[in-house]
Structure 1
């Protein structure tokens, strides 16, 4: 993922390292898991990209994104920490966290971690105003034994409320937000190792629709590719299978 973390006008790179962990030692500190950003030197093809650490003590970092979560004009980072199949969910440190960019003005940011919520086997975190109240919420997946899609409501004042969108969603992985039906509200598209489904967001409930003829293991990632000439939204899978969801 890219974002201008130091506000110098050049896109920087956000990256993670899952790290390693000896079996039988859940979430040890000696895990080598990292959340880092690489500073764009201005001449990306020839210059040196300098690595800066955002997090090196919370294990199992996997997928997240840069976003101005606190609306202060600089980029923060939202991250899922849960890439550990060996962990017991009851004792693991798996969670969704956000990293506040506490620096003022341009330059190298300083970071402060905030807990969004516990989520065993958290895989990906994405952001958007899901409840249309003017602030940024977070949607996340839990893979392996997690098997679910959730969203965290930004209640203000540093408080988050977790809502379950879907359980029994085997090995959930990628998740994106888009207005699929043109009603000016964000919907949720989530992928799983045993196929993908559309989850249409609603504060009053949720609707899940399978793609006709869905097969196991055919969709491990999802991507919204934009609206076609028919006014429908294209969703593209990793096998480049393509179908349209009606508006």
Structure 2
């Protein structure tokens, strides 16, 4: 039986753009000389990051970077729109923030920051989770408001209009420990919220609203771990009534579901679901268990009407992040898989470290694998956006280091190419 208490929630981060942190300057991990890890901001205190995400908080049309620091009870906000990256930290009202989402919750034209606060990073049944809203004024000040508390550890909070009434609601992952749930908070106006339960089980890592079936309303994809290992879709009738369907599951107690992302991977006009399974903190695995056989990444292809077909992508132990990104600049979406591989779990003598895997798309969703074994470690969070305002997508990630050894960084750009040449 899988022990839920053993799972640590791993979510599941101009002039400053200088300095190569991995390999030779302009070097590629495959030896051709072009992959660089370039720090966005410095990391003198070796901060542990739970999530890195892009968002336009100030509404100026340029994207900023948000990185959650749960051990330090703060969120880093980095704005590079002026040509120099400026960082500020938010901490008021926060205990252990793990995820953020920029949204205009009250419809006044000014964005707020929705924060999922896990309360305590490590497993506990205490009701320490909360959802916090940070509201900002024109002078750069902010206030914090707790809109959900007295629940188990909260791993996600995503804003979307779930009932079609024109305002933004919030879907929440109450990961908990032995007990938890998935709920959505209905925005009833005037800063009030009403909670609706979608699933009564613990272990929800991600819950992303998106239109799965092209009917104009928002459904919800959920990654569930702990005693259940499932990818779920909650289908919306348009007014906030949901029906649950299981899209993928495993009865292997060491499967280790670790997260999802939503993207039109095959670029056919609908949204697909990518998922990883690679939780490495299950200490009850059977003798002889080979994580490279069980752990990995897959994608669920959408037929445009909400029907999904599963395709395996790759097997790699400790798989966490699964980020679509046009790595080779050929117009299709490749996939960057980040890993969380701990020496204390599986010996590097037996299992060689693979820091991340690049899956190169031929345009028809046939993928060629490239392993990076000398990059940043523990990079289980990545996001794509344009933080430097050059009109091109940037890939930024952060390491969930937790004091473990090896090269790691709280906010790094993964940069391919020299003088516009892609790494191929």
How far apart are the structure 2 equivalents of 1:193 and 1:158? 31
**Alpha-carbon distance in structure 1 between the residues aligned to 2:168 and 2:416:** 33
Q: Does 1:177 align with 2:324?
A: yes
Q: Secondary structure of the equivalent of 1:70?
A: coil
Instruction: Give 1:74-93 correspondences, 5 Å limit.
Output: 74-82=217-225, 84=226, 93=228
Partner of 1:162: 310
Q: Residue 152 of structure 1: CA displacement?
A: 1.3
Structure with bigger strand share is 1
Identify the residue that residue 50 of structure 1 maps to in structure 2.
194
Q: Who is 1:29 aligned against? A: none
Q: Deviations 1:44-96 (Å, cap 9, x if unpaired)?
A: xxx2222221222x5422113100101111110011112x2xx5xxxxx4111
Aligned equivalent of 1:131, options 266, 273, 280: 266
Q: Specify whether residues 14 and 181 from structure 1 end up closer, same or farther in structure 2 by C-alpha distance, changes over 3 A only.
A: farther
1:234–1:242 Cα contact (<8 Å) kept: yes
Q: C-alpha displacement at 1:212, in angstroms?
A: 7.7
Aligned match of 1:98: 233
Q: Which residue pairs with 1:216 in the alignment?
A: 377
SS for the counterpart of 2:267 is coil
Q: What whole-Å deviation, never above 9, does each CA across 1:79-135 have from its counterpart, x for those lacking one? A: 1112x2xx5xxxxx41111000024xxx5x111011211243222122222223333
Q: 2:171 aligns with which of 14, 26, 29?
A: 14
Q: Which region of structure 1 is more displaced relative to structure 2, 93-102 or 146-155?
A: 146-155
CA shift digits 1:123-181 (9 cap, x unpaired): 2122222223333221101022552111112246764322111102x322232334444
Partner of 1:73: 216
Q: Does 1:199 align with 2:359?
A: yes
- Aligned alpha-carbon RMSD (Å): 2.7
> Equivalent residue for 1:25?
none
Moved over 6 A (4+): none
The Cα shift of 1:193 comes to: 1.1
Q: Tell me how far apart the structure 2 counterparts of residues 49 and 245 of structure 1 sit (CA, whole Å).
A: 44
Superposition TM-score, scaled by structure 1 size: 0.75
The structure with higher relative contact order (CA 8 Å, sep 6+) is: 2
Aligned to 1:27: none
Give the unaligned 5+ runs of structure 2. Answer: 1-157, 280-290, 342-354, 399-409
Q: Where do 5+ consecutive residues of structure 1 fail to align?
A: 22-31, 88-92
Q: For 1:112 and 1:204, locate their aligned partners in 2 and report how far apart those are by CA, in whole Å.
A: 30
